[in-house]
Amino acid sequence: MQDALVAAADDLVGDGIRETGIPLSDTLRHYMAITIARFMREQVRVDRLTIRVVSAMDRRAAPAEMRALADTCLIACSIFEKRLRRAGGSLRHYSGLGQTAYGAAALTEQAYSFPHMRDVIAAATGNPPEGVRDLIDAARAGSSKAADRLADEGVIAFPTQKFFH
């Protein structure tokens, strides 16, 4: 991978960390920089992402394939969130897919930190959630930044499951 792309991606991650105030381990910061740099060269395929992840899980795909799918979920949730919504998906759904795929790839730190990594990349690329509906979806997907913004407005993002019939 070209050093210039990794350096640019690392600068982007640093900007997102400063913008959000979310502290990330050096491991996560470098992982994100390499991931972003890879997607600077490759096309992000968000079409049929759910089907691709479920299919890979069903056939117990190799960790490298699961990692690639998880990375795609991370980039899609961070940069192409509006496109995912137009396709009828929620940030919560695709974040869950990404976390599950990272877990299947034995990348535990990435799985648990998915919402924080997403917040950092979204802030760095100018794609933070906008509007109450998007903020609620992001908070339900684990975004501490969205939850904080909602709390400032006196809104709590409860789960969407029905407790009564």
Within a domain: 159? no
Residue 125: in which H helix or E strand, if any? none
**Residue 160 falls inside a structural domain:** no
Residue 60 has a pLDDT of 95
Is the predicted pLDDT of residue 165 greater than 70, yes or no?
no
Number of residues that this document lists for the chain: 165
Average pLDDT of the residues of the chain: 86
Tell me, yes or no, whether 165 lies in a domain. no
Number of domains the chain contains = 1
pLDDT one-digit tens code per residue, 85-124: 777 778 888 999 999 999 999 999 999 999 999 999 998 9
140 inside domain = no
Domain membership flag for residue 46: yes
Structure tokens, 34: 């390499």
Indicate whether 63 belongs to any domain.
yes
Give domain status of residue 73, yes or no.
yes
d(CA 121, CA 33): 10
Of 7, 21, 159, 23, residue with least CA distance to 92 = 159
* Domain boundaries, position 75: 3-128
Report the pLDDT value the prediction gives residue 164, as an integer from 0 to 100: 40
Report CA 42 to chain centroid distance, whole Å.
Answer: 17
Give residue 1's pLDDT: 52
Lowest mean pLDDT among 47-51, 137-141, 147-151, 152-156: 152-156
In a domain, 158, yes or no: no
pLDDT > 70: percent of the chain? 93
